[in-house]
Amino acid sequence: MKILIGICCGLLFHLAVSAQPLIPVPARIIPADKGCYPFGSTEKILLSDTTLQNEARELQRILAQRTGCRAEISLAAGQTRRNIFLQTDTTLKHPEGYRLVITPRSIRITGKDAAGIFYGIQTLNQLLLERDGKTASVPCLQIEDAPRYGYRALMLDPARHFIPAKEVKRFIDLMASYKFNTLQLHLTDDQGWRMEIKKYPQLTEIGAFRDKHSGPQGPHNGFYTQEELKDLIRYAVERHVEIIPELDIPGHTAALLLACPELGCAHRDSIPVQLGKTTDRTLCAAQEKVYEVYADILQEVCALFPARRIHLGGDEAVIDKNWGHCPDCRKLMQAKGFKEVREIMGYFFGRIHKLVRQNQKELMLWCELDNIRMPASEFLFPYPKDCTLFTWRMGLTPKTIELTRQAGIQLIASPGEHCYLDYPQYKGDLPEFNNWGMPVLTLQQSYDWDPGYGLPTEEQKHIIGIAGLLWAEAMQDLNRVTYMAFPRAMALAEAGWSLPENRNWENFKNNLIPHLADLTRRGVSFRVPFEVFNAETRKK
């Protein structure tokens, strides 16, 4: 009997989902038997307190766009005949959670916090997707919702091809529409240094301009001033998006080493540094000047960004060619009693981690399993317990989940085979398809992913979120970025927000259609996933 009830409840849920094109799918939808809330030419938005003005303005904007109505904002001094209520309720269980209740006489959005109310507004926005500029109504229903993971991110890569701040704002708007709450900005790499550091102006004077014949604002040239970043951070905060800066070290540092060559290892083969090309050069772990310069850089970066975390890379450093041949690093190994070059990585990030802590931040790094001694009897995990790691290398996520759990380290899931949105979406999809032979990552491959890999709760509870990554070697402007991101980012939004038992590929496909039409109305470039709707294409 219980099994039959469960099947019926699941069927009713999926029928309710299919009737409303919501992405990501909510935790619970309770449709009413009949009725709707009709929007008039004017509406009132009533607030439980003044701290919700930002959310009220977002709802005001959406109602004007979707229904054409003018909405007045005021404190809830008493009910009128028709009302739209925004209110907080701290008794709700989950941060960012909300309840949306629509009756013929009222719309009530209740959130655990302001973020929850904002996401309830985004859900209401999606209920109005096909009503742009027209007098509209929404069906009576109740939605109770909260995210599966508290960390839901997309990453932009202005280091490879610069994205002006006003374009980043457009991307933040898209993220917020699908309940992403974190933007990771990859600000430094071999191809460019994109953030003003006042104490070291040469970082941007030299490192931000790799093509003298290109303009100052991308794709090859440009950087964000600290004032621009402050404005960008404020803009993101209003949309409940936190910006996390990433400054990659000790590898991916050609732009830095071109501006400050004294920070690199001594090389017997004198590998040249060329801005825009990966040269396998790294910072010298034995140079005190490296730690002095990064103490200054981190002080400025951490003072600017209010996010509690900072990402410092740690990936793909060719340490054997650098630390393994550098006489200073060899002396460091001898002094510390290190037997292997890779042991220097623990020393390097141990010192960097202290600088991060001094600035009241938490360290984030890409997890490199090459830095781990195996077998388990010789287990060595060189990462500090209070850092957060990303799993990213293809095929290694299950092992990374296991090792980080054993080490007591938090993990963000961003495996290449599901989350690398720079991978081509279809065979022959240029230019990405010709970018160093990257594998195809289809929309369904992104959607079918379970960040917890079906593990028991205890074995996956250290996974705190997901991230979709947009490395920009082949993306020269935001139009190409959004083309690569959408609709796959919608699939990842659902992986990060929705409960696994509520997700359904066929429902997602049906829900996708009005969202793609809406992106078209918004002037957003995206790839039409024709193959998922074309039976003949799917057979090939």
**CATH code, 79:** 3.30.379.10
| CA-closest candidate to residue 53, choices 68, 71, 75, 70 | 75
**Same-domain status, 127 and 204:** no
* Averaged pLDDT, 416-437: 84
| CA-closest candidate to residue 470, choices 245, 184, 173 | 184
Instruction: Name which residue leads in pLDDT, 536 or 389.
Output: 389
**Same-domain status, 101 and 189:** no
- What confidence tens digit (pLDDT) does each residue in 231-290 have? 999 999 999 999 999 999 999 999 999 999 999 998 755 667 878 776 788 999 999 999
| CA-closest candidate to residue 256, choices 296, 225, 217 | 296
**Same-domain status, 482 and 496:** yes
Q: Is 271 exposed, middle or buried (0-12, 13-18, 19+ CB in 10 A)?
A: middle
Percent with pLDDT over 90 in the chain? 78
* Averaged pLDDT, 288-306: 98
- What confidence tens digit (pLDDT) does each residue in 509-523 have? 999 999 999 999 999
**Same-domain status, 90 and 238:** no
pLDDT number for residue 372: 59
* Averaged pLDDT, 101-121: 97
Phi/psi of residue 459, each to 5°? -90, -5
**Same-domain status, 70 and 196:** no
pLDDT number for residue 136: 83
Domain presence at residue 8: no
pLDDT-based confidence at residue 213 (cuts at 50, 70, 90): confident
Q: Is 37 exposed, middle or buried (0-12, 13-18, 19+ CB in 10 A)?
A: buried
- What confidence tens digit (pLDDT) does each residue in 112-166 have? 999 999 999 999 999 999 765 565 899 999 999 999 999 999 999 999 999 999 9
| CA-closest candidate to residue 372, choices 419, 321, 406, 417 | 406
Four-residue CA torsion sign, 457, 388, 320, 325? negative
Residues assigned a catalytic role: 189, 252, 316
Q: Which of 145, 167, 199 is the last residue of a domain?
A: 145
Beta bridge partners of 466: 152, 413
CA distances to 186, 200, 480 from 194, in Å:
9, 13, 19
Domain presence at residue 12: no
Task: Tell whether the model's pLDDT for residue 15 goes beyond 50.
Answer: no
pTM (predicted TM-score): 0.93
**Same-domain status, 139 and 194:** no
End-to-end CA distance of the chain: 43
**Same-domain status, 211 and 165:** yes
Which residue range(s) make up the domain with 104?
18-145
**Same-domain status, 141 and 277:** no
**Same-domain status, 141 and 282:** no
- What confidence tens digit (pLDDT) does each residue in 348-382 have? 999 999 999 999 999 999 999 865 554 443 445 67
pLDDT number for residue 385: 85
pLDDT-based confidence at residue 538 (cuts at 50, 70, 90): low
Task: Tell whether the model's pLDDT for residue 427 goes beyond 90.
Answer: no
Domain presence at residue 5: no
* Averaged pLDDT, 410-429: 94
**Same-domain status, 114 and 155:** no
pLDDT number for residue 445: 97
The CATH number covering residue 459 comes to 3.20.20.80
Distance CA 297, CA 311 (A): 13
Q: Which of 145, 175, 203 is the last residue of a domain?
A: 145
pLDDT number for residue 6: 40
Total count of domains within the chain: 2
pLDDT number for residue 534: 83
The two tokens of residue 35 are 């009725």
**Same-domain status, 59 and 119:** yes
Domain presence at residue 436: yes
Q: Which of 145, 171, 191 is the last residue of a domain?
A: 145
Domain presence at residue 96: yes
Helices in 2-146 by DSSP H: which ranges?
A: 2-19, 53-67, 114-127
Domain presence at residue 7: no
Domain presence at residue 1: no
* Averaged pLDDT, 174-180: 98
Mean pLDDT of the chain: 90
Domain presence at residue 10: no
**Same-domain status, 62 and 179:** no
